[in-house]
Amino acid sequence: MAASRSDFAALLRAWRDRLSPADAGFTVTGGRRAPGLRREELAQLAGLSVDYVLRLEQGRATSPSAQVVGALARALQLSRAERDQLYRSARLLPPRDGTVSHVPPGIQRLAARLGDFPIGVFTADWTLVWWNSMWSALHGDPAVLPPAERNLARALFGNGAAHASMLPVRSERGPDAFEASVVADLKDAVSRYPADAQLDRLVQELREISDAFAHHWATQTTAVPHTTDRKTIRHSEIGDILLDCDVLIVPGVDLRMVTYTAATGSSDAGKLDLLRVTGGRRTATALP
């Protein structure tokens, strides 16, 4: 832990300059003075203010939290070794093995290139760690939520900002099946990540505050993973939109890439096109 604070600032600047805007999901236009990300683009991806990113790069903000460093590592599409280097340069211990936190650069590049559709990347505990602009247009911008609240289980069962701001969503499988599948996923994650303190706190919190969560946790005997579904989302600007929701599992890193699509030529595809053009109105946030 002998790294200086200037190491963190230098790494942040170097890795921001290295990352292609196209790989991060931004449209490349003329007039860019550098090939890498702009400071405001990194701030947007990490859910931070531009001023804070500037102070970090100038070495004026010297004590970033582990959550901030993790968000920057994901936004910069760092490898696991580079992520650990960034943590150490901030004088923090890197995440231990056996936790659910890393998004490989290749997965982020793949998701960024599929920008026509809403895409969110979740860890094994259903924490949202990456999303594109179409996800924000459909569900609202997750960046306005505290990082701990960007969690599907908290949106379904909690009593905080995620639950309060969740848009009305109707699953064709029914509310009980949807909720039960998320609890089943968490039970499976607990069995595979017994050393993950954040996951343990999430489960204990929801068991205490939610009778529905506690019921599913106590009675769930057969894992019913949350995979393919059809969902009707009530958007504040375009009304109800019926979409196919597919959950793609990423082997080796235990991530879930959630995608929303509609049949070509359908009225719901037209609504997605409208969101793509307008960006949606940022009046609500959801993690459906």
- The span from the CA of 200 to the CA of 206, in Å, is 10
List pLDDT tens digits, range 56-108.
999 998 889 988 998 898 888 888 788 889 999 999 988 765 555 566 777 77
Domain residue ranges in the chain: 5-89, 105-278
pTM > 0.75: no
Give the least confident one: 49-58, 89-98, 115-124.
89-98
Judge residue 59's burial from the number of C-beta atoms within 10 Å of its C-beta, 0-12 exposed, 13-18 middle, 19 or more buried.
middle
Q: Which CATH superfamily is domain 5-89 in?
A: lambda repressor-like DNA-binding domains (1.10.260.40)
Alpha-helical runs (H) found in the chain:
5-18, 39-46, 50-57, 66-75, 80-89, 105-113, 133-139, 152-157, 161-164, 175-192, 197-209, 211-219, 267-278
Give the residue with greater pLDDT, 254 vs 215. 215
105-278 domain in CATH 3.30.450.180? yes
With beta carbons less than 8 A apart as the criterion, state whether 103 and 130 touch. yes
- The span from the CA of 262 to the CA of 238, in Å, is 15
Q: Which residues contact 220 (CB under 8 A, 6 or more apart)?
A: 180, 183, 184, 187
135 SS3 class: helix
Confidence (pLDDT) at 125? 92
Average of per-residue pLDDT values in the chain? 85
